[in-house]
Amino acid sequence: MIPLKVPAHGSPLLLALLTLVASGATGPLPPGLAAPHAAAQAKRPQSQAAQAKPAGAKAASRPNVLLLVGDDIGLADTGPYGSEIDTPHLNQLAAEGVRFTNSHVSPVCSVTRGELLTGNNNIEVGLGTFDYLVYGPSKGKPGYEGYLTRNTVMISELLRDAGYNTVMAGKWHLGLGDGAIDWNGEIKPSTNEIGFDESFIMAATGDRVPTVFIRDHKVVNLDPADPIHVSYKLQFPGEPDGKKDRASLKMDWSEGHNMAVVNGIGRIGFMKGGTKARWNDETMAADFTKEAVG
């Protein structure tokens, strides 16, 4: 994971914003951790940038801020930190931007993203369930809701307050609210409710259902005549099954990745419908790149 800033002269902005997020730590967890954002925001002083800039104003001449987060990428996997792997674009971003020499992440993907977005410990923002040693007995308790709770200010909100247009593209897996998701209607709350003007995401991970992209509050390319059904407990009759149809898979499954079969790959969870909306695993990286850079 490499946070980068382009160009170099803009580096103080990103560092300052990270500091502002970090300074918003909530301290001991109060009852009702998943408080509405408005209530949490009211308890915090507004950023200096937000106070000085009219609401809705956008930055016209400020440097761009680019934050890249990659799962399963170690420090030694990128050129800016001495890797033998050829990463010319990352090398250029590091050369023209900021290269951190002291940064820390969690070995768990969702925990890292939650902490980066908020500047808080993962348990302070509801993501303690990703510590699997305490998952069972703690699930649902304050700090262990399993989704990003709204008791803090996001770096995306600070950037938007400062006049930036904000975009999120890629893997989310921080939850979309605390209730059942209507995949066939308006998906809300989504990333738009926490400071992103635009978003193009997968709700969870590439190995989970539903295997669809979400643009803002809607599933992309969804045919209303072919609605999406999702279950993490029961298979839908007549749908491919990873355990029963193992010989037909493009790649054999590992434990747990043997439920629904989408694009010849066993997934976590069961899915039916949404045929036209399903992503193509082989072109997923290109799809996200196109959305991110235009």
Contact 227, 215 (CB under 8 A): no
Q: Give the helix, strand, coil percentages of the chain, each rounded to 5.
A: 30, 15, 55
What DSSP letter does each residue of 218-271 carry, written as one string?
EETT--TTS--EEESS-PPTTS-BTTTTGGG-SSPPPTT--SBEETTEE-BSEE
pLDDT tens for each residue of 260-273: 999 999 999 999 99
Instruction: Report the pLDDT value the prediction gives residue 199, as an integer from 0 to 100.
Output: 96
pLDDT tens for each residue of 204-218: 999 999 999 999 999
Q: Please count the structural domains in the chain.
A: 1
148 burial type by CB count under 10 A (0-12 exposed, 13-18 middle, 19+ buried): buried
262 — phi, psi (to 5°)? -125, 125
Is residue 162 a part of any domain in this protein? Answer: yes
Is residue 114 a part of any domain in this protein? Answer: yes
pLDDT mean over 88-114? 87
Is residue 77 a part of any domain in this protein? Answer: yes
Q: Quick one: pLDDT band at residue 52, thresholds 50, 70, 90? A: very low
Is residue 177 a part of any domain in this protein? Answer: yes
Contact 36, 150 (CB under 8 A): yes
Query: Which of 104, 109, 217, 257 is labelled catalytic?
Result: 109
Q: How far are the Cα atoms of 157, 176, 236 from residue 193, in angstroms, in the given order? A: 9, 10, 32
| In the predicted structure, residue 105 carries a pLDDT above the cut 90 | no
Host domain of residue 176: 2-221+279-293
| In the predicted structure, residue 91 carries a pLDDT above the cut 90 | yes
* Partners of residue 213 on adjacent β-strands: 202
How big is the CA angle at 123 (ends 120 and 125), to the nearest 5 degrees? 60
Is residue 40 a part of any domain in this protein? Answer: yes
Highest mean pLDDT among 33-37, 104-108, 284-288: 284-288
Instruction: Report the pLDDT value the prediction gives residue 33, as an integer from 0 to 100.
Output: 27
Weakest-pLDDT range from 41-50, 85-94, 225-234? 41-50
pLDDT tens for each residue of 238-257: 999 999 888 889 988 888 88
- 173 catalytic? Reply is yes
pLDDT tens for each residue of 123-162: 899 888 765 555 667 777 888 888 898 888 999 999 999 9
Query: Which of 104, 173, 217, 229 is labelled catalytic?
Result: 173
Is residue 110 a part of any domain in this protein? Answer: yes
State how far the Cα of 211 lies from the Cα of 3, in Å rounded to an integer.
Answer: 27
Is residue 246 a part of any domain in this protein? Answer: no
Instruction: Report the pLDDT value the prediction gives residue 240, as an integer from 0 to 100.
Output: 92
Highest mean pLDDT among 27-41, 69-83, 278-292: 278-292
Is residue 249 a part of any domain in this protein? Answer: no
DSSP 8-state assignment for residue 152: S
pLDDT mean over 164-171? 94
pTM: 0.77
